[in-house]
Amino acid sequence: MTIFSKIIAREIPADIVYEDDHVLAFRDINPQAPLHLLIIPKQEIPTINDIEEQHEVLIGKLFTAAARIAKAEGIAEDGYRVVMNCNQHGGQTVYHVHLHMLGGKPMGWPPYTEHMKQG
């Protein structure tokens, strides 16, 4: 059980921007861009390494939700970055898979965030 399961269960508050039967999206508590959302499956899958065939439809739904959310947030045309971190070298801190959606400014390249540079 991670903090994200508590957000899904409404046990702790979050600024939720999207919800359907399988997916929840909310604003990151520590934004790295003007728009920084986390898009998560309601089913808890710890890391990308745990994704199996049975999850393929669900993972697809994350991206369908991402497309809808980008349009709703007004960043679809300008563009945005979607990132999923895995384990320590990937900078993962919450072990419930999530897409980071970053936008509202040009994101630049390479895609290292400040907190990752320090690590």
How many CB atoms are closer than 10 A to CB 31? 13
Angle, CA of 41, 1 and 63, to the nearest 5°: 10
Q: Cβ 116 to ligand DGP, closest distance in Å? A: 9
Q: Cβ 94 to ligand DGP, closest distance in Å? A: 4
Task: Compute the radius of gyration of the chain from its Cα atoms.
Answer: 14
Among the listed residues 42, 55, 92, 104, the single contact to ligand DGP using CB under 6 A: 92
Which is closer to ligand DGP, CB of 59 or CB of 94?
94
Q: Which of residues 6-65 bind ligand DGP (CB under 6 A)?
A: 14, 26-30, 38
Determine if 85 is a binding residue for ligand DGP (CB under 6 A).
yes
Omega into 111 within 30° of 0, i.e. cis? Answer: no
Cβ burial of 24 (10 Å; 0-12, 13-18, 19+) is: buried
Residue 100 a catalytic site member = no
Size of the site for ligand DGP (CB under 6 A): 13
- Catalytic, out of 36, 96, 98, 100: 98
Q: Catalytic residue positions?
A: 98
